[in-house]
Structure 1
Amino acid sequence: MADSTDGSSSFWTQANALFRKNLTFQRRNFKTNVRLILFPVFLCLLLVALQYLVNIELDKPSLKCGCTCIDKDGDGECERVCGIEYSDLDQVATCSIPSPPEWPPLLQVPAPQYRAVRTDHLLSFGDFPDDSCTSTPSSCPTTVLMTGNNQSLGENLARNMFPGSSNFNSSNGLADVVLGSASETPVSNILEPAFFSSLPVYYVQSQCQANSTFSISVPVGSTKVEKEIRCVQGQHLWRNRSFDINNELYAGYKRGNSEKKINEILAGYDFLNSNVSSYDVIVWYNSTYKNDSGNIPIGLVRVPRSINWVSNAFLQLLLGPSTQMLFDFVKEMPKPETLRRLDFSSLLGPLFFTWVILQLFPIVLTALVYEKQQNLRIMMKMHGLGDGPYWMISYAYFLAISLVYMFCFVVFGSVVGLKFFTLNDYSIQFVFFFIYINLQISLAFLAAALFSNVKTAAVVGYIIVFATGLVGAGFFQFFLEATSFPKHWIVVMELYPGFSLYRGLYDFSQYAFTGNYMGTHGIRWGDLTNEHNGMGRVLIMMLVEWVVVFFIAYYIDHVLTSGSGAQRGPLFFLEKFKNKPSSSFRKPASSFRKPSLQRKGSKLYLELEKPDVVQEREKVEQILVEQDTNHAIVCDKLKKVYPGSDGNPKKIAVRGLTLALSQGECFGMLGPNGAGKTSFINMMIGLVKPSSGTAYVHGLDIRTDMDGIYANMGVCPQHDLLWETLTGREHLLFYGRLKNLKGTALTQAVEESLRSVNLFNGGVADKQSGKYSGGMKRRLSVAISLIGDPKVVYMDEPSTGLDPASRNNLWNVVKRAKQNRAIILTTHSMEEAEHLCDRLGIFVDGSLQCVGNPKELKGRYGGSYVFTMTTSSNHEADVENLVKGLSPNAKKIYEISGTQKFELPKEAIKIADVFRAVENAKRRFVVQAWGLADTTLEDVFIKVAREAQPFNVLS
């Protein structure tokens, strides 16, 4: 893309300048980058250290499958053999079990001391056994409750469920016997605790005989387990309503301060509309035998045997007592060898890694707010940097830093062996981290519009970082793991980007933890369709949020002025479709304006224009009529009004300024503080928009063509806007590139600029600007404003803080520079104004009071001599009489401690008369000092400012 013919730099030239500046800035902040990288490295090393300590404990032989040494060949050399048969109870959980043992199916029978009995306050029915049975161990029966629409059917089924005696069929084994146990159920059924605990195994009958205890042998692998079987009496009780069963099941369970389990019922059955041709039943069981997390499968609560029990009773009712649906055994799935693994990176990863990734947010945010607070972006924009190159390079710059940061983080975590990284698919990790850091950068651009102070932005940013991690680990993760929590609320919470990040990291950690424990892999692309993880949904949500937040941030940046100059309208993006006004001068709307009364607050003030101001306006009107393009700057009734607030009236900062500057002219603006000089400059450089009127810079309207004006404009602000870590040479190289300087021309321009402001010798040019003195910074700011040969330059008090030698040198630079450009200069130094400016304008109360070159102003407003005399206080009256004798129209303008100053009209006195009067006075009293001087520019300034103060004509 070629650069435009008017000297303005192209999009890619501007982008290249900013890119080079950012690279230099990044290289200068190498130590800061190292500290940034060390934070995730520290966390990774901490996790590795914790993992090492845990592994030391888990690698102890007592926590591994048991092993022994066996001489299989008889040659005296033993072979190490491991297996469940060589393991103790602590080791057996890790052993492989290729063929789990078969166990008889059991009922969950209440323990004798907990079986339901009749009480006064817990059970309203009187058919329960009396609580006296609790005095004799195992004498209380276990109860089954029944209900339904057909009681007769229920009674018949009950008789089939509770036989009078048990007959062991050798062919069917234990399948004919209804066995049960009061032992707690395990997580898996590799070992049935009923056959290894001290509690007996029961078989259920309607009546137990005297000799109702016998032993059974259960084969477990190559061995057999002997277990005593005891009879337990079972009874059934009919209820007319299922409500009664439900009430009794919960009536006394875990009541009282002792939290004892009392009044447990074996099971409950609701036969509903069952009959001989239809079987329909609801089974109640005691689910509190599951652990507190509720994660043990229902089958391990010994429900299958209860269902088979009542189903057999129905088959026997239909087909006879010899008919059975045999339930031979229950068996666990084969189990591979499992090592006790505890991966700390997966357990703590969601919290730690959320902090690691989120800490980039305050870093990007503070960098953007720093440019806003220090007005550096405004400075770049005023020297020609467009919004497009700024957004593209700044975004790419932060993205590159974030990618390098995340790459180092993932690589280092993988090198040290964190399963969080090594087990999960790297491509999924890349996509997840890439989308999120883009979303995070967009959020930082959006948040930067809300802050104007770096410290405030940093504090808020880091609060967000740590709060997101802690809230995610303390609350959000709890909701993720709670199966009863509505999923749509999870989605709502994930709309917050911090929780989207936490959810993705949580899924990574869960897959890594499971893969490490089971010896499998972590998350893969195929797992994204699994409804039990939210990775796929989170990726889509973050991608959409990235696009939406980016465009909102871009819009807010323009509408709310995030450091980019004057605000634009809410529909600024439609401006290019509108018919733009012509960039040439418009025809003036009015002619000479008569003196008028203007209301200011609650009073009226008389506005009387001086002839030179009237002449200047007529000149501007002529320029506009003739479309004269020989003038660099033309201001046409430029006005700025700030709206009132807190009950205060509106403030008129600039009152219809009309002014024209030709090429090669230096115009000085003088005025007291608050006169409107800064508001005028801010309108000219595009920081604020005029309330009415306009100005043209080489024919370009400041209301619509500021981008074109910036390409040929230089600014030396009142306060130095510099990057502290960049050198003077690097500043000039950056701004020179913005002005379309390249190669040898750029190098030569930078060298000449450094020499002109005396920053070349002694290595000062390659010294960081943060180490410059105040005077050196001012000289660098002036050099920046002049590099690239801008056609219009605005200088706001350029010589502030300079020593006399440097100030004189700087004046020479400005005088040489104004030969081919227009310069507007504000200053409080009358010497500087008189030395540099071709014309001066004195601003008071937002209005231009006079305009002309210094000699014209002194001649026009300074038609008097200034007479000064110092005597003792006793002779002040004598001095006044002396002056009155010289001229009755003399005015005293100054008096302090015997020193008096008077203005003497030039046409009323002769200098010789003054000398004679002073000589005569010396004979009568002591004259310590005296002087007679022509009017200075300072006197003119004071006089004009004093006369221009509005006087009240009507209260």
Structure 2
Amino acid sequence: MEPSSRSPATFSTQANALLRKNICFQKRNMKTNIGIIAFPLFLCVLLVVIQNLVNSELDKPKNRCGCRCVDTDGDGKCETVCGIQYSTLDQVGTCPLPSPPRWPALLQVPRPEYRAARSTSGSDTFDDLPDGSCKETGLCPATILFTGSNQSFAKKVMGNLFKAPATLNPMDYLETLADVVPGTDTPTRTSQFIEPAFISDRPLYVLQSQCMPNYTTSLAINLDGQTLDQEVKCVQALPRWRDTSSVVNDELLKGYRQGNGKKDINEIVAGYDFSNTNNINFNVSIWYNSTYKNDTGFTTVALVRVPRSLNVVSNAYIQYLRTGAMMQFEYVKEMPQPARKIRLDFSSLLGPLFFTWVVQLLFPVILQYLVYEKQKKLKIMMKMHGLKDGPYWMISYAYFFFLSSAYMLFFVIFGSIIGLKFFTLNDYGIQFVFYFLYINLQIALAFFMSTSFYDVKTATVVGYIYVFGSGLLGEFLLRYFVEDTSFPSGWIVVMELVPGFSLFRGLYEFGQYSFTGNYMGTSGMQWRDLSDGPNGMKDVLIIITVEWLILLPVAYYLDQVSSSGGRIRKNPLFFLQCFQKKRRSQSFRTPSLHPDTSKVSVEMERPDVAQERGVVEQLLLEPNNSHAIICDNLKKIYPGRDGNPEKFAVRGLSLALPRGECFGMLGPNGAGKTSFINMMIGLITPTSGNAYVQQLDIQSDMNEIYTSMGVCPQHDLLWETLTGREHLLFYGRLKNLKGAALIQAVEESLKSVNLFYGGVGDKRAGQYSGGMKRRLSVAISLIGDPKVVYMDEPSTGLDPASRKNLWNVVKQAKRGRAIILTTHSMEEAEVLCDRLGIFVDGNLQCIGNPKELKARYGGTYVLTMTTSSDEEEEVERLVRRLAPSANRIYHISGTQKFELPKQEVRISDVFNAVERAKAEFPIYAWGLVDTTLEDVFIKVAKGAAGSSDLLS
């Protein structure tokens, strides 16, 4: 009975088949998948352990509030008393302060070696500033710049900026501490519980319009009952007028360590712009140096002494309006605080680098999976059985997205449960959007990069180099450029085009906000923070989204036009063909004279091969025919390399194969059989000529051909972790088998190849022997009623019993199908094939059924006779009497073989002659056999090789 036709599987059917196969595959790899998903949990636990170790170290006495044994009651017994007066600067932040001290407001003044002076390089010279010689004496003034539209009024206000008493003593200084504007070059700490300016080894500087010679004194400061002596020095406050605010801005920029490319630091105290100040309006803009401030998120947030700058100019303005009037900034103080412990948010501190590695660890896993299917040719094997690109990409992408989502979900949830501030302080909505977009980009990147690899080991190594390299480069390059405010932001955006850098930048922002929020007692990043100037998260989200939407279609395009997947690559403009309506002509093509065919080759073609070429020519003119396969002058030429000539693998093959026929291809190794099969199944592109399968063109309609095609490749292409039954279920679904029909087809296939009984079909393919894998490959090629089947040496590695059983399967499968089979077994070819073609050096040398070939190319009997060495001449005379043109083909130690032409001898004459010869001399053994297919093959191959040598 001829197999019934079946419609191709729909998109949803193929997607369902691939999904079921992937689920089975992943069930077999459950331990690996659990390990992947659980890996973030391990990392979170590791972070918590490290966090606790760090916290225990920070909780040691040297980091707690300082204590001392003091006799508080006068009874001679001391008691432990703790407080800021017994603490160092590192300890004071942990002390309880119910009543924080009052500290005079200060103004930051550069150290003597950094105060404003002309550049020693001579390129940044300001004529009204002292030259560099003042640095040697330590008498460089503390310069303050002024500008404004109301110059005359502003200069009058400048005159009241500093008081210049004739004498200064410590008591006067202490009483007028806020009024005479003392300053310090010591950076402030995170709080005013202890003001570093009053307990440092550097002096306090009193800014005066004119200092007394060698003025220096000391100031006694009471700190909770402890008296500290602080050195006080006078510094001339040098006011300088500038014509425009741009000049002030330029000179102040030289004081920024990152803004001064020549490293000539000329730090200036402050700058004032009297824009529209007069007797009625007070309108002043103030510049100040914020280089001491560090709010990068990885050190404690520092304060900048700004209020005193405002107090100075306000006081000068009031004194100008009314002599003797004063606006005095009395003090600054902190809010009370309880005792607390020093804690370091380790997750936020290491977040950008550590979490960049964690998030990207899935990338090599995805890349390895994609390249594995290409390297093992599993992807093209699925495609050859009808799987379209749409279901493959959708199901593969969905699986990777599910795995990545579970990975990140466990990471965030577990990190939040154990209290990592990196997760708990930042808004979960922003985190969800960021991780959602990035895992999609990461999957698209894996698809994109997989088109460039064909070896799993190489892809895996490159993947891990990318993961760790992007993290390290992000830490040492991107972080530096982000924190360098003078670096152009546009170049940072360019760097973030690398997905690993954009991930690092996003995690860096999360770490910044969570660290600061944890220290300040506020929340981390919120949606409103995306509009903050320094916050780069908005740019990162835009970059990730755009790259994802661009990279995914580009990856698909490269997958189609590249040949790394082991299939015919499409034309680079293939997408334009989708908009063209496909037209079919009434015939395949108009007849041609094959001008590229060598005249010598055509003339030397054997009659049977020439007849087959004529049949093909005639069939190509018919609009409809019953032939399943038609090859029209098919050629494949491999280009030469390293100076070697071109390799002609297939030389103008023409072949017509009707349904219900098994065609066998015989030939020595390297004859071109596998190249022919690879062209027919879509693995390589023909150099010229064409072929049609089910009236479909192999160069343009392979996707349609695959739906009715079965393939048993030369090497078994199987998933090691799937069972034989699961393989057949998957490929059966691809051929649109469903329900009971699918189950029945699978069981019949397993029984036919002897893999059903004993539970063999439910064992993993990796546990099969080579012969069992071969039988499974044959079953896969026949399931689902394919109309055309290609079998490349299907019985290789089988024992005799399994080979006989396989032959029966192929015989039954011939009904209604066209089968092309390559083999090295002459017995197999004679048993299975309706017609045979002997292929040598890319040419089809002869074609016909086995009997015709033996009759046409093997018209001889082979007589073998063994005697003593002395009787060899008698044997030869006997043979010459029987057949004068006999040819001796073998001779060794009394054993000789002769070819006897059938037209010269009868079998009965040979038997009678041998019986008479036995009476004349001893004959140890003899035999007469007809020509075998093997003899025909050897004869044709030798003749073809000789002709090839002659032509060359």
Structure 2: how far apart are the matches of 1:631 and 1:299? Answer: 86
Alignment of 1:566 onto 2:562: no
| Conserved 8 A contact 1:179-1:201 | no
SS of equivalent to 1:819: coil
Alignment of 1:31 onto 2:27: no
CA-atom RMSD in angstroms? 5.1
Distance 1:5 1:291, change over 3 A: closer
Alignment of 1:671 onto 2:703: no
Shift in Å at residue 435 of structure 1?
Answer: 1.2
SS of equivalent to 2:814: helix
- The aligned counterpart of 1:454 is 456
Structure 2: how far apart are the matches of 1:707 and 1:273? Answer: 77
Structure 2: how far apart are the matches of 1:450 and 1:126? Answer: 63
Query: Aligned match of 2:363 in 357, 361, 364?
Result: 361
SS of equivalent to 2:725: helix
Shift in Å at residue 804 of structure 1?
Answer: 0.7
Alignment of 1:705 onto 2:708: no
| Conserved 8 A contact 1:676-1:846 | yes
Shift in Å at residue 837 of structure 1?
Answer: 0.9
Query: Aligned match of 1:635 in 628, 631, 636?
Result: 631
| Conserved 8 A contact 1:189-1:300 | no
| Conserved 8 A contact 1:144-1:268 | no
Shift in Å at residue 550 of structure 1?
Answer: 0.4
| Conserved 8 A contact 2:107-2:309 | yes
SS of equivalent to 1:186: coil
- The aligned counterpart of 1:11 is 11
- The aligned counterpart of 2:536 is 534
- The aligned counterpart of 1:340 is 342
| Conserved 8 A contact 1:109-1:142 | no
SS of equivalent to 1:820: coil
Alignment of 1:510 onto 2:512: yes
- The aligned counterpart of 1:43 is 43
Alignment of 1:440 onto 2:442: yes
TM-score by length of 2: 0.83
SS of equivalent to 1:331: coil
The count of aligned residue pairs is 916
1:372 corresponds to which letter in structure 2?
A: K
| Conserved 8 A contact 2:298-2:512 | no
Distance 1:270 1:35, change over 3 A: closer
| Conserved 8 A contact 2:667-2:673 | yes
Shift in Å at residue 848 of structure 1?
Answer: 1.9
Q: Deviations over 1:102-122 (max 9, x none)?
A: 4334466799999999xx999
- The aligned counterpart of 2:932 is 936
2:763 corresponds to which letter in structure 1?
A: K
- The aligned counterpart of 2:479 is 477
Shift in Å at residue 189 of structure 1?
Answer: 3.8
Alignment of 1:422 onto 2:424: yes
Greater mean alpha carbon deviation, residues 455-464 or residues 88-97: 88-97
Distance 1:895 1:224, change over 3 A: same
2:392 corresponds to which letter in structure 1?
A: Y
- The aligned counterpart of 1:849 is 845
SS of equivalent to 2:578: helix
Unmatched runs of 5 consecutive residues or more in structure 2: 69-80, 258-264
Shift in Å at residue 606 of structure 1?
Answer: 7.1
Alignment of 1:501 onto 2:516: no
Query: Aligned match of 1:184 in 183, 186, 193?
Result: 186
Structure 2: how far apart are the matches of 1:772 and 1:660? Answer: 37
Distance 1:669 1:185, change over 3 A: closer
SS of equivalent to 1:850: strand
Shift in Å at residue 656 of structure 1?
Answer: 2.5
SS of equivalent to 2:584: coil
Distance 1:194 1:735, change over 3 A: closer
- The aligned counterpart of 1:755 is 751
Q: Deviations over 1:759-789 (max 9, x none)?
A: 0111101000000001101111111111111
Alignment of 1:658 onto 2:654: yes
1:509 corresponds to which letter in structure 2?
A: G
Structure 1: how far apart are the matches of 2:215 and 2:391? Answer: 97
| Conserved 8 A contact 1:583-1:699 | no
SS of equivalent to 1:948: helix
- The aligned counterpart of 1:78 is none
Q: Deviations over 1:504-546 (max 9, x none)?
A: 1112222222222222222222222222221121111111111
SS of equivalent to 1:647: coil
Unmatched runs of 5 consecutive residues or more in structure 1: 69-80, 135-139, 255-262
Shift in Å at residue 643 of structure 1?
Answer: 3.3
2:408 corresponds to which letter in structure 1?
A: M
| Conserved 8 A contact 1:201-1:228 | no
Alignment of 1:907 onto 2:903: yes
| Conserved 8 A contact 2:115-2:142 | no
Structure 2: how far apart are the matches of 1:578 and 1:126? Answer: 78
- The aligned counterpart of 1:389 is 391
Shift in Å at residue 427 of structure 1?
Answer: 2.2
Distance 1:107 1:579, change over 3 A: closer
Shift in Å at residue 328 of structure 1?
Answer: 2.5
| Conserved 8 A contact 1:728-1:769 | yes
Greater mean alpha carbon deviation, residues 375-384 or residues 570-579: 570-579
TM-score by length of 1: 0.83
- The aligned counterpart of 1:780 is 776
Q: Deviations over 1:201-247 (max 9, x none)?
A: 675675769999797888x9xx79978798856668899999xx99x
Alignment of 1:725 onto 2:721: yes
- The aligned counterpart of 1:259 is none
SS of equivalent to 1:456: helix
1:718 corresponds to which letter in structure 2?
A: Q
- The aligned counterpart of 1:331 is 332
1:378 corresponds to which letter in structure 2?
A: I
| Conserved 8 A contact 2:662-2:818 | yes
Structure 2: how far apart are the matches of 1:293 and 1:425? Answer: 20
Shift in Å at residue 682 of structure 1?
Answer: 1.6
1:639 corresponds to which letter in structure 2?
A: K
Structure 2: how far apart are the matches of 1:381 and 1:565? Answer: 9
1:457 corresponds to which letter in structure 2?
A: A
Q: Deviations over 1:258-284 (max 9, x none)?
A: xxxxx9999799999999999999999
- The aligned counterpart of 2:261 is none
Distance 1:225 1:583, change over 3 A: farther
Shift in Å at residue 617 of structure 1?
Answer: 2.5
Structure 2: how far apart are the matches of 1:791 and 1:238? Answer: 98
| Conserved 8 A contact 2:648-2:842 | yes
| Conserved 8 A contact 2:47-2:346 | yes
1:893 corresponds to which letter in structure 2?
A: I
Greater mean alpha carbon deviation, residues 277-286 or residues 84-93: 277-286
Structure 2: how far apart are the matches of 1:917 and 1:339? Answer: 118
Greater mean alpha carbon deviation, residues 42-51 or residues 99-108: 99-108
Distance 1:897 1:161, change over 3 A: farther
Structure 2: how far apart are the matches of 1:856 and 1:271? Answer: 110
| Conserved 8 A contact 1:383-1:713 | yes
1:47 corresponds to which letter in structure 2?
A: L
Greater mean alpha carbon deviation, residues 925-934 or residues 281-290: 281-290
Alignment of 1:140-179 (within 5 A): 143=141, 161=162, 163-165=164-166, 174=176, 177-179=179-181
Distance 1:197 1:884, change over 3 A: same
Shift in Å at residue 947 of structure 1?
Answer: 1.8
Query: Aligned match of 2:741 in 738, 742, 745?
Result: 745
Structure 2: how far apart are the matches of 1:739 and 1:106? Answer: 84
Distance 1:728 1:932, change over 3 A: same
Structure 2: how far apart are the matches of 1:250 and 1:698? Answer: 79
Distance 1:144 1:499, change over 3 A: closer
Distance 1:199 1:741, change over 3 A: closer
Q: Deviations over 1:591-639 (max 9, x none)?
A: 7x89x9838xxxx767412222222233333333343422222222223
Alignment of 1:823 onto 2:824: no
